[in-house]
Amino acid sequence: MIAPGIAHELIAARLLGSPVALQLGLRLAHAEPGKVQMRLPFSGGNVTEGALVHGGVIATLADVVAVATAVSAAHRPPAGGATASLAITYLSPAEGCALLATGLALRSGARQHAVRVEVASDMGIAIAQALMTVVLT
């Protein structure tokens, strides 16, 4: 695995510094090899109706966390990467709350990484679960 400090720098610069992460206000809560947590603050710009957080915003949060988790588990610093597959199950509505997403690397190969992401409300209510495949180059 790459050194945790290098992974943290890559996550901060490339992922949290990306336009979508900046727009959503994503924040790194925790990072260690094979496990990453990010927070999404509640914003009225991320809702569908009333105070319900849009499912696409939740999926985007899961996607960014999955890629960050893959980077944290990588064998070498990646030049780039992309999500190859994303399957998400919504468990509860996210109404007027901040979210915490936790990514866990299930399997990390030379390029391909299987990651599970769990999204919960700031009150600990399970909001969504995602299984993703991330390819790092």
Domain ranges of the chain: 4-136
| pLDDT at res. 27 | 97
Q: What is the pLDDT of residue 130?
A: 99
CB contact at 8 A, 118 and 102 = yes
CATH number for region 4-136: 3.10.129.10
Q: What is the pTM of this model?
A: 0.95
Confidence at residue 38, expressed as pLDDT on a 0 to 100 scale: 98
Residue type, 26: L
Profile the chain (137 residues) by mean pLDDT over runs of 10 residues: 79 90 96 97 95 98 98 93 97 98 97 98 98 98
Q: Residue 96: CB partners within 8 Å, gap ≥ 6?
A: 42, 51
CB atoms within 10 A of CB 56: 10
Q: What is the pLDDT of residues 69-104, one digit of tens each?
A: 999 999 999 999 999 999 999 999 999 999 999 999
Check residue 3 and give its pLDDT: 75
In this structure, are residues 68 and 38 in contact, taking their beta carbons and an 8 Å threshold? yes
User: Can you read off the two tokens belonging to residue 115?
Assistant: 């990651």
